[in-house]
Structure 1
Amino acid sequence: MASSRPMLAQLSRLCLSPRISGARFEGARFLSATAACASKGKIISKKEKAGTASKGQNPQKNKKKDDSGRKKKKARTTYKSYDMKDAEMFSLCDAMRYIRAFEVGRPPTSVKYEMAIKLKSQKNGPVLRNRLRLPHPVRTDIRICVICPADSKYAEQARAAGASLVGEEEIFEAVKDGRIEFDRCICQTDSLDKMNKAGLGRILGPRGLMPSTKLGTVVKDPAAVLKDMVGGAEYRERMGVVRMAIGQLGFTPEEMQRNIRTFIEAVKKDMAHLNDRINKELSEVVLSSTNAPGFPLNGDFISADSQITTRDLSTS
């Protein structure tokens, strides 16, 4: 114990001595910038730090300058369209063949083919909307409502033409209660004011069932319109795409071809009636069904190397 005291005294004198060689502390780590500068004989004060930061070395201000110098990306005014040259496209018969493979086991009348026509169109421009009767109707069980006085001659003619609901006040009350038991709605001209006062637009409008003069569902003679409406369907452009049920699963390729041709011609006719400043073009035509994906059509009825015939597709 006595021998260790001189060694401890010598070690304490060594650690507390003011003459410390810098070579002994070359590998020392400092936990702050001030300590690192002190080892080199220079200490930075708070005022000097503030002056250094004010000379343009603030990273946040430099970041703001960089962001302001960048050009903002302009928003698209048209819907995005793709180049179909390199895409795989199908003939009508081949597309029907693949779709039937996805719908195997389904009843021929339950699953319907659907056609989507993609347009090159402006986002804020007018949309296409119309009603069309196909050569081969997809739905023949449409329930049609006729708003007219229940004891008028128009009501009798509408019932004879196949209307499922006819009247005024009873229909207004049913719609307000949420009982919408029809697929199409026609209003007789004399009942238009009563229908507007009943406030059905907020209920029937979002469902596409509100009668309007533009769509031809506010007419003088409802019975004459009923004959054309049975088996007809409406289509409307949404986000540059026009969709419509085009056929039943049991339709033959020839029946599908006639329906598709009628639908495309109707869309082209609607585009021709638009203003000259508004330009819409057909970009893509896709055939799909309830459970099948979409198959882009190339315009051919059947391909030369097709492994199926129209007779095979004609059997349900």
Structure 2
Amino acid sequence: MAKPSKKAKMIAEKLDAEKLYGVDEAIKTLKEFASAKFDETIEVAMNLGVDPRHADQMVRGMVSLPAGTGKDMRVAVFARGDNADKATAAGADKVGAEDLMEDMQAGNLNYDRVIATPDMMGIVGRLGKVLGPKGLMPNPKLGTVTPNVEQAVKDAKSGQVEYRVEKMGIIHSGIGKKSFSDADLRKNFDALVNAVIKSKPSGSKGKYVRKISVSSSMGPGLKIDLGDVEGV
């Protein structure tokens, strides 16, 4: 059995695994312990009282993080004519139609979001088995099937993220980088949590938000005191 690293020992000595942290205190503590050589992502995990195997308990949506994500989002757009020009002008990394479909079928899927105009869904539909497993399939409910591709690209580039509950009823999402100010991370935390709360499905019974924790890419997970989270 491998011995714990010096860093792991230090964290274990200084942190109480059972302590409930206020949001601001948790963010400050995580940044103190985030010692990786890269700019670690600060992440939120929310345990929800839902069973996503049932359609009326699915939680999924988009939220714009006020301080951005700190990540360069790669966006592909299926569009033609004026819409293609607008998507390109808005900063899309790749714009096309049949040519983009063939490129993706060949395995070129290095994108964080795929957007399409409604008239392109006949083409995009052929990519269901390719885009679906990666969570990239355009969806009108998420605003990724839209005639206003210009705004959709701008939203994606400026800090809009998707949240989606996983099999065990947990939502994971990054809310920024260690290099962000404490205030910006708090703004992003509040934006994400508020969006998830507003997305409470009709089939959710009992307590909806059961636990929230925050962590950094290489750091510990800290439990949040739900009493410090408005609306929970």
Q: Tell me whether the two structures share a fold, i.e. TM-score over 0.5.
A: yes
Tell me the TM-score normalised to structure 2 length.
Answer: 0.82
Matched, 1:176 2:105: yes
- TM-score, scaled relative to structure 1: 0.61
Partner residue in 1 for 2:188: 259
1:292 corresponds to which residue? 219
CA contact (8 A) 2:76 2:114 kept: yes
Alignment counterpart, residue 138 of structure 2, candidates 203, 211, 219? 211
The match for 1:55 is: none
User: What is the rounded CA distance, in whole Å, between the counterparts of 1:105 and 1:212 in structure 2?
Assistant: 36
Query: How far apart are residue 123 of structure 1 and its match?
Result: 5.8
Where does residue 123 of structure 2 map in the other structure? 194
Which residue does the alignment assign to 1:234?
Answer: 162
Q: SS state of the match for residue 246, structure 1?
A: strand
Distance apart, 1:136 and its partner CA:
0.7
Question: Could you tell me how far apart the structure 2 residues matched to 1:220 and 1:115 are?
Answer: 32
Which has the bigger relative contact order, CA under 8 A and spacing at least 6? Answer: 2
Which residue of 2 is the match for residue 134 of structure 1?
65
- How far did 1:217 drift? 1.0
Which portions of structure 1, spanning 4 or more consecutive aligned residues, are displaced by more than 4 angstroms?
none
Aligned residue runs from structure 1 range 51-62, under 5 A: none
Q: Does 1:278 align with 2:208?
A: no
Determine the C-alpha separation between the residues in 1 that align with 2:182 and 2:123: 47
- Percent identity reads 30
1:222 Cα offset (Å) = 0.8
Which residue is equivalent to 2:87?
Answer: 158
Which residue identity lines up with residue 175 of structure 1 in the other structure? M
Report the Cα distance in structure 1 between the residues aligned to 2:228 and 2:75, rounded to whole angstroms: 37
Report what 2:147 is aligned to.
Answer: 220
More strand by share: 2
Structure 1 position 183, deviation (Å)? 1.4
CA deviation after TM superposition for structure 1 residue 141, in Å:
1.3
Cα distance per residue 1:164-185 (max 9 Å; x no partner) = 1011122111111111132111
Give the distance between the partners of 1:147 and 1:204, measured in 2 at CA: 13
List per-residue Cα deviations over 1:111-142 (Å, max 9, x = no partner).
Answer: 11000111122464322011111011113411
Match of 2:43 in 1: 114
Q: Equivalent residue for 1:147?
A: 78
- 1:262-305 CA-partner distances (Å, limit 9, x unpaired): 1111111000xx32x5325111110001111210011549xxxx
Cα distance in 2 for residues equivalent to 1:185 and 1:252: 30
**Over aligned residue pairs, what C-alpha RMSD do you find?**
2.0
Q: 1:207 to 1:173 in 2, by over 3 A?
A: same
Structure 2 stretches lacking a partner, 5+ long: 1-16
Q: Match for 2:146: what amino acid?
A: V
Cα distance 1:189–1:124, how it changes in 2: closer, same or farther (>3 A)? closer
Whole-Å separation in 2 of the counterparts to 1:226 and 1:216 = 10
Structure with higher Rg: it is 1
SS in 1 for 2:165: strand
Q: Which residue of the other structure, out of 82, 87, 91, is the alignment partner of 2:22?
A: 91
Where do 5+ consecutive residues of structure 1 fail to align? 1-85, 302-316
**Alpha carbons 1:211, 1:218 under 8 Å: kept:** yes
